[in-house]
Structure 1
Amino acid sequence: MPLRAMNDLVAHNASLADELSDAVMRVLNSGWYILGREVKAFEEAFAAYCGVPFAIGVANGTDALELALAGVGVGRGDRVALVANAGGYGTSAVNALGAVGVYVDVDLDTQLIDASALDRVLAGADIRAVIVTHLYGRLADMAELMAVADRHGVKVVEDCAQAHGASRDNRRAGSFGHVAAFSFYPTKNLGALGDAGAVVTGDAAIAERVGRLRQYGWDRKYHMTLAPARNSRLDEVQAAVLSVKLPHVDAWNARRIALASFYAEAITHPKVALPAVDGTSYVAHLYVVRTTDRDDLAAHLRAEGVPCEVHYPYPDHRQPAAGDRYAGVSLPTTEQLCAEVLTLPCYPEMSDADAEHVAAAVNRWGA
């Protein structure tokens, strides 16, 4: 039976409909809609979930990256190391600050930033910070990457937009770097009913700075002490919604991992490379396979009633908006991945029969 879409958000929210409705009505009836009790309660709960003392709610995940970078002192002209295969969100944040992106190639198997390549980049340029993106729900090897960054005196910003709840050695994504950014876009492992984000950190000074930067640079109302700042505030409705959903994230992640584990066993096509399923360090935000004939596989799957997408087809250093700025940059693994990756459906409300249909359709390709 065909799947309706890559994600079924109606089904995702249906089981919590009464609680979500109550949360929205609680905010409506409170008369307080910006930076009130709901935001404070969610910030405290999410910080505790991540295992850090501080969380600062903001308007969306890209703002969270920008404010996290600003929180560790990145400004105009500073260089920031980052990957180019993660959809451009890090690049957008770097550009918004007037900083300069320095791209680092990735590992073919994990599709995450390559520690050796990062070491070479940090040794060869004056870098202020590095964004470590936990792509597709896979937690990077933060012990190795923090050692590299520490050796060069570079601040680490974790991009956790796709890794809510991913953990290794009982530490969750967001608790390793100097600061971390989360998105709560509706399709995320923890998603709002619109745009929302957060910055988390264990550093009180960074938390205080980000808290001011998200609201005009105020230290008190109408008194601006930091620049450049912005208006980027998590609203009360989204905070209340996220508070309802947060206790369910681990169960949703477990279902995602179970589906990914099923795919790992059931998909046997010799032309399709599958991602490793590494327990809780991979929370399967996206289940991304690779093949050298992606367009043909995608057309076959859609004909079989299986939706699929490409995350992400255009490397940042080859985007038209970059002009010829990175014409001399070569990132062979990044460019290979952007030509080969294809995302299959993987979300908590998928049935076993749905997953079987997807796997069987992949295996029938070319038959």
Structure 2
Amino acid sequence: MIIPFLNFKAQHDLLRGEMLTAFQQVYDSNWYIMGAYLTQFENEYAKFSQVDYAIGVSNGLDALYLALKALNVGEGDEVIVPSNTYIATVLAVSYTGATPVFAEPDVNTYNISPSTIRKAITNKTKAIMPVHLYGQACEMDEIMAIANEHQLFVVEDNAQSHGATFNGKITGSFGHINGVSFYPGKNLGALGDAGAVTTNSAELAERIKCLRNYGSKVKYVNEEIGHNMRLDELQASFLSVKLKHLMNFTKDRVQIAQWYNSVLQGVGDLILPKVHSGASHVYHLYVIRTKYRDALQKHLNENGIGTLIHYPIPPYLQQAYAHLGYVKGDFPIAEELADTSLSIPMWPGMTSDEVNAVGMAIRSFFNEK
């Protein structure tokens, strides 16, 4: 059985009629940028996210950058980020001229640890950027308490956890302003690049709207140096369709994770995903850990099972950030995760037979061990 790491077919077969109708409506409208379909999706996503405002932008990286810029984060400032995140989180900080300061994750949840955030705060810290990694919400109550205590901004990176909650409150609604990605592989994915900023601040929402559109609120009148970072009508209309199905797709992901938990429990030295007692997990990824990671990945690939490593090189060890002076050993938890983590197939519509096939292939690897 050939099982890819990600397969859109089940989703797209289900949505085909609605998506083609959405395309035709936008096509026939003859209006493709900053129109009614964008406004409709922004309103829908704000309601879903339980915030007052959602502003569509070009992608998740731009969403994070614009959020920081709207807070006037810049040169001389520090922003605390996880030591084990995708590079986009860190790039957003660098784009502003600020300095990323890394903090270790909790070894069980892989999310940034409140205790390490506290240790990373200096008199230059201006913001904290927690990343809800792999689909699990961060410990946002404590993170917000730390931010309030030190008068810091919080910008949630909600690229991987649409619909996850901490103590019943949805991700993307905690921070002062937050970024989200709708890259096609995300739980809520467009058919191209797309993103959004969420906030309860009318002032910040207006600034994002201005910054994303050349620094202009009125055509040909430019209030500040802005950007062309808009979400187009077509992607907005596709996202409106998919948003209606998101919770059902999330139920699928949770069910698949439960199947994996059952078939992989007690196998070899595997460490399975652990969920914080206050958090929910929407399983953007199902990540297992083993000291035999590379050999297991090779075994699965040879048996037709797709895998990925999220993420093999921590951002502070990337060549792009060599100027910060970090060396191997500075963040041992992030490095352990980088050396042992393996993401196995996960997508809405994946069948129990496919999950069992992945599980049996993993079991056979450890049986040979």
| Residues 140-164 of structure 1, C-alpha deviations (whole Å, 9 max, x = no match) | 0100111111111110000110000
1:167 Cα deviation from its structure 2 partner:
1.7
Unaligned runs of 5+ in 1: none
1:2 aligns with 2:2: yes
Equivalent residues of 1:46, 1:55 under 8 A apart: yes
* Aligned match for 1:226, one of 224, 227, 235: 224
Report the equivalent of 1:48: 47
* Aligned match for 2:260, one of 253, 260, 263: 263
Equivalent residues of 1:134, 1:140 under 8 A apart: yes
Unaligned runs of 5+ in 2: none
1:179 Cα deviation from its structure 2 partner:
1.1
Cα distance in 1 between the residues matched to 2:84 and 2:157: 13
Alignment of 1:229-244 (within 5 A): 229-244=226-241
Equivalent residues of 1:257, 1:277 under 8 A apart: no
* SS of match in other structure, 2:256: helix
Equivalent residues of 2:110, 2:133 under 8 A apart: yes
The amino acid that maps onto 2:307 is C
**Compared CA separation, residues 366 and 170, structure 1 to 2 (3 A):** closer
Alignment of 1:54-93 (within 5 A): 54-93=53-92
Alignment of 1:176-255 (within 5 A): 176-227=174-225, 229-255=226-252
1:226 Cα deviation from its structure 2 partner:
2.5
Alignment of 1:151-170 (within 5 A): 151-170=149-168
* SS of match in other structure, 1:219: strand
1:40 Cα deviation from its structure 2 partner:
0.1
Alignment of 1:1-367 (within 5 A): 1-3=1-3, 5-122=4-121, 124-227=122-225, 229-267=226-264, 268-277=266-275, 281-327=280-326, 330-367=330-367
Cα distance in 1 between the residues matched to 2:271 and 2:110: 13
| Residues 273-315 of structure 1, C-alpha deviations (whole Å, 9 max, x = no match) | 1002569710000001111121101011112221111011111
1:72 Cα deviation from its structure 2 partner:
1.9
Equivalent residues of 1:260, 1:277 under 8 A apart: no
Equivalent residues of 2:68, 2:155 under 8 A apart: yes
Equivalent residues of 2:158, 2:178 under 8 A apart: yes
1:173 Cα deviation from its structure 2 partner:
0.8
Cα distance in 1 between the residues matched to 2:59 and 2:28: 25
* SS of match in other structure, 2:129: strand
Cα distance in 2 between the residues matched to 1:278 and 1:18: 39
The amino acid that maps onto 1:337 is L
1:222 Cα deviation from its structure 2 partner:
1.9
Deviates more, 1:149-158 or 1:215-224: 215-224
Cα distance in 1 between the residues matched to 2:68 and 2:109: 24
Moved over 3 A (4+): 277-280
* SS of match in other structure, 1:270: coil
Equivalent residues of 1:184, 1:196 under 8 A apart: yes
Equivalent residues of 2:79, 2:99 under 8 A apart: yes
Cα distance in 2 between the residues matched to 1:324 and 1:176: 32
Give the structure-2-normalised TM-score. Answer: 0.96
1:170 Cα deviation from its structure 2 partner:
3.1
Equivalent residues of 1:261, 1:277 under 8 A apart: no
Equivalent residues of 2:105, 2:112 under 8 A apart: yes
1:272 Cα deviation from its structure 2 partner:
1.0
Equivalent residues of 1:189, 1:249 under 8 A apart: yes
Give the aligned length: 364
Cα distance in 2 between the residues matched to 1:326 and 1:224: 39
Identical aligned residues as a percent? 39
The amino acid that maps onto 1:55 is A
Equivalent residues of 1:115, 1:145 under 8 A apart: yes
Cα distance in 2 between the residues matched to 1:304 and 1:104: 37
1:324 Cα deviation from its structure 2 partner:
4.0
Equivalent residues of 2:8, 2:347 under 8 A apart: no
Equivalent residues of 2:250, 2:282 under 8 A apart: yes
Equivalent residues of 1:87, 1:314 under 8 A apart: no
**What's the RMSD between the two structures over aligned residues?**
1.4
